[in-house]
Amino acid sequence: MRVTEQLAELREIRRSLPGTFGFVPTMGALHAGHASLVERARADCDAVGVSIFVNPAQFGPGEDLGAYPRSRERDLALLESLGADLVWTPAAASLYPPGYQTWVTVEEITRPLEGTCRPGHFRGVATVVAKLFLAFTPDRAYFGQKDAQQAAVIRRMVRDLGFPLEVVVCPTVREPDGLALSSRNAYLDAEERRAATVLFRALCAARALYDGGERGGEALRGAMRAEIHSEPLAKEEYVSVADPGTLSELDRVEDGALLSLAVRIGRTRLIDNLALEGNGR
């Protein structure tokens, strides 16, 4: 496995790797969710590249950029054990040189959900992912369903700008009690960690209603809200039952609809989602 900080060296190594190339962008503090993307890329492609970059442009003022967990040596050991070929760990100043002023803005689909709570977030995400695509020139790029809106934004950007690559979205990896793995779970103390299961419980409550025949969007949103409000350490930021393509809220829910939510547990902001799959009713 080759590890570099330098763009020129990255390009040189990339050019030397024959066959199909799979790319997994990450912010480090790697866990089994990230590992699942690398494993999928490893299975699909001849060579695999990973970026580790805590992207300042996607953090708002007052968010956790400074506190975001960093574990470079452990991350590199994990990537080596997973069979990654190439890891890029760029410095922020090389991706955003002095005077930087070029941004990728995806419009409608970035506005609801995370876009409402984190203005500017997806401009930072789309910009850095476009820059990473230009650097790695992958044939396939792997993203987690955990960040469903992010995956939708990247798909839109790839289509709109004509990046010659395939976006592959992989299932959310969860703890045995349902909590979606996230680097931010490291912020939770023991009591908050217990309370954090409320995200998955709320999604399951809405899914159970749907499976029982309920088709009203507001009823499903209400079920999620009730579950969140029953947990004293949890504070709702949003609950959503949306069209998976446009992310606009649904009055009438159908198979494929996306249940999603953002919840604060103490000072930690967590997100999760589930796609509703039909049982024919």
Nearer to ligand AMP, 55 or 240 (CB): 55
* Residue among 10, 37, 130, 205 that touches ligand AMP (CB under 6 A): 37
- Contacts (Cβ under 8 Å, ≥6 apart) of 77: none
Query: How many Å separate Cα 89 from the centre of its chain?
Result: 19
* Residue among 21, 133, 143, 210 that touches ligand AMP (CB under 6 A): 143
| Interacting span for ligand AMP (CB under 6 A) from 11-19, 93-101, 115-123, 176-184 | 176-184
Cα torsion 119, 121, 127, 132 to 10°: value is 180
Does position 147 interact with ligand AMP (CB under 6 A)? The reply is yes
Q: Distance between CA 198 and CA 165 in Å, rounded?
A: 37
| Interacting span for ligand AMP (CB under 6 A) from 6-14, 25-33, 102-110, 237-245 | 25-33
* Residue among 33, 90, 112, 138 that touches ligand AMP (CB under 6 A): 33
Closest CB 163 distance from ligand AMP, rounded Å: 16
Whether 34 is catalytic is yes
Q: What does R_g of the chain's alpha carbons equal in angstroms? A: 19
Nearer to ligand AMP, 180 or 257 (CB): 180
Closest CB 36 distance from ligand AMP, rounded Å: 6
| Interacting span for ligand AMP (CB under 6 A) from 126-134, 143-151, 191-199, 201-209 | 143-151
* Residue among 183, 185, 240, 260 that touches ligand AMP (CB under 6 A): 183
Strands 268-275 and 258-265: antiparallel
| Interacting span for ligand AMP (CB under 6 A) from 63-71, 82-90, 112-120, 172-180 | 172-180
- Contacts (Cβ under 8 Å, ≥6 apart) of 208: 223
Q: Where are the alpha helices (DSSP H) in the chain?
A: 7-16, 32-44, 72-82, 92-95, 114-117, 121-136, 148-161, 190-195, 198-211, 217-229
Q: Which residue has its beta carbon closest to ligand AMP?
A: 144
* Residue among 51, 110, 172, 273 that touches ligand AMP (CB under 6 A): 172
Q: Distance between CA 65 and CA 54 in Å, rounded?
A: 8
Nearer to ligand AMP, 21 or 53 (CB): 53
Does position 133 interact with ligand AMP (CB under 6 A)? The reply is no
Does position 173 interact with ligand AMP (CB under 6 A)? The reply is yes
- With 0-12 / 13-18 / 19 or more C-beta atoms within 10 angstroms meaning exposed / middle / buried, residue 249 is middle
* Residue among 3, 21, 22, 26 that touches ligand AMP (CB under 6 A): 26
Residue that the structure tokens 């506190």 belong to? 67
Q: Distance between CA 141 and CA 131 in Å, rounded?
A: 13
CA-to-CA dists, residue 23 to 31, 39, 46, 201, 210, angstroms: 17, 11, 11, 32, 36
Residues that bind ligand AMP (CB under 6 A): 26-27, 33-34, 36-37, 143-144, 146-147, 170, 172-173, 180-183
Catalytic residues, which ones? 34
